[in-house]
Amino acid sequence: MDKRQWTWLIAIVGAVVASLWYRVTVWQRLEQTSALFIGIPALIAAICVLTPKPASATGTAVKAVTLFIGISGIFLGEGLICILMAAPLFYLVAILIGYAADKHRKNSTIVSCVLILTMIPISSEGTRPRLSFSREETVSAERVLAATPDQINAALAAPPRTNGVFPFYLRLGFPRPVSADVHGTGVGARETIHFAGGEGKPGDLVLEVAEHREGRLRWRSISDTSHVAHWLTWEDSTVEWVAVDVSHTRVRWTLHYRRLLDPAWYFRPWERYAARLTAEQLIQDAATSR
């Protein structure tokens, strides 16, 4: 068997083992933790660098990760946004272990084992409450609108528009709001936003007005059956507005949510960016007149 055949054989073995590990994490309900996002690429890289082969460890590990990513999209049911978000982390871990093995070829097995052992505690983040960093997040967006406070208040009393133009990032594969209904008025009124498209099955986010006074409106989350609940849990949504002059109003929208994906150092910035874009979209679609 030549070098190229050996390389692909090892890559296939690594991808298959990683696919089995994926099933184990899902079975144990750890698919949102570092056990998947760091554990899988570390497992692939371990197989590649610890198996005798003529090709470079880095090249073989990268090929195995690429193969697994392809499998995840076709056979494991993962959507585009999950693959896009996880791919850089997968490649980073694989390249790190593969590069260390190539750099120290005489002691590649020892170096690789040390690196892989260091990945074990890192891969444990999120698997237990005491192994998790703070999950509570708060994100805000602010904008001055050409409207009076009364116009802002009237716009917020109606269902938000769902036909606005979303930012590119939110169009990559996130579920999209396609309809919204408001039931009741004042404190206790409920708003149901239906999500469809993107990843996952259609579902509804149900919000209830918890506070409504001049210049401030706050909803709390009642339930969420959309696929967004796979990544984060909405807690409450607050909009505040104050007049700047006779025809302009400053609107500030704040979202509170609980992050569900680990590791925090990697997924926290992704989720905060998406939440900030969402807050900006809400100002545009919910706080402006129809």
Identify the CA nearest to 285 among candidates 148, 169, 155, 151: 155
The secondary structure of residue 227, as a DSSP letter, is: G
Tokens 């990697």 appear where?
A: 266
Beta bridge pairs of residue 249: 145, 243
According to CATH, the topology of domain 136-286 is Alpha-D-Glucose-1,6-Bisphosphate; Chain A, domain 4 (3.30.530)
SS3 assignment, position 132: coil
pLDDT given at position 64: 75
Cα gap 57→109, rounded to integer Å? 11
Instruction: List, for the chain, all residue ranges whose pLDDT scores fall below the cut of 70.
Output: 1-37, 43, 45-55, 70-81, 104-116, 118-120, 289-290
Question: Strand order in 176-183's β-sheet?
Answer: 136-145, 248-259, 232-245, 216-224, 203-213, 190-196, 176-183
Q: What is the DSSP letter of 171?
A: G
Which sign, positive or negative, has the C-alpha torsion 164, 180, 269, 81?
Answer: negative
User: Which residues lie below 8 Å from residue 88, measured CB to CB, with a gap of 6+?
Assistant: none
Question: Which pLDDT score, from 0 to 100, does residue 16 have?
Answer: 62
DSSP tag of 159: P
Q: Which residues in 92-113 are b (16+ Cβ under 10 Å) and which e?
A: ebbbbbbbbbbeeeeebeebbe
| pTM score | 0.75
Question: For the range 117-122, what are the long-range contacts, defined as Cβ-Cβ under 8 Å and sequence gap of 24 or more?
Answer: 119/38, 119/39, 119/42, 119/93, 122/34, 122/38, 122/263
What's the pLDDT at 163? Answer: 82
